[in-house]
Amino acid sequence: MRNTLKIFCALVAISFLFLGCSPEKKEEAPVRRDPAPDFRLQDLSQNSVALSSYQGRHPVLLLFWATWCPYCRQELARMNQKYRELAKDGLVFLAVDVREAAEKVNIFMQSHNLTFRVLLDTDTRVAEAYGLVGIPTYVLIGKKGSVLFKDNAFPQQYQELISRER
């Protein structure tokens, strides 16, 4: 799985270079209504976090990423600036690192001055449950527990997507 993710990330990076585009220029994905797979992961402080603990209370934005991915690094920097604004909108932001050790992720977070909450998907169980084929991948989950958005770019119209949830 790790080599597959590395290869996919490299192919995506090469295609963006040749096409002269970046993930943020992509059109928004359509609203989806699939139930979000529940999970329980540990954060960098070894606290257990369950997705279901937010259901009925807050929408959740997941960002699947890894330290070695160049586009992930761009998205992490962007989210470091945005996540407080998202929290004011009632949106919970969780960055899910895929298949890396806590020590490596912690060093990366400190060296890049990233201050949001990171969960560790060390065995890729959550990434597989969400059907990831590459990173970075955003998944927007509504208050009712449905996947509203899944794409490699930030959901620019997240407020509209959340408000359309039935």
| C-alpha span between 151 and 62 (Å, rounded) | 11
**DSSP 8-state assignment for residue 33:** -
How confident is the model at residue 109, as a pLDDT?
Answer: 97
Concatenating the DSSP letter of every residue in 77-134 gives: HHHHHHHHHHHHTT-EEEEEEES--HHHHHHHHHHTT--S-EEEETTSHHHHHTT--S
What would be the CATH architecture of the domain defined by 2-163? 3-Layer(aba) Sandwich (3.40)
Q: Angle formed by the axes of helices 70-88 and 2-19, to 10°?
A: 90
- Can you give the residue ranges of every domain in the chain? 2-163
Q: What percent of the chain has pLDDT over 70?
A: 80
In this structure, the number of other CB atoms found within 10 A of the CB of residue 23 comes to 17
Summarised one tens digit per residue, pLDDT across range 85-105 is 999 999 999 999 999 999 999
How confident is the model at residue 22, as a pLDDT?
Answer: 43
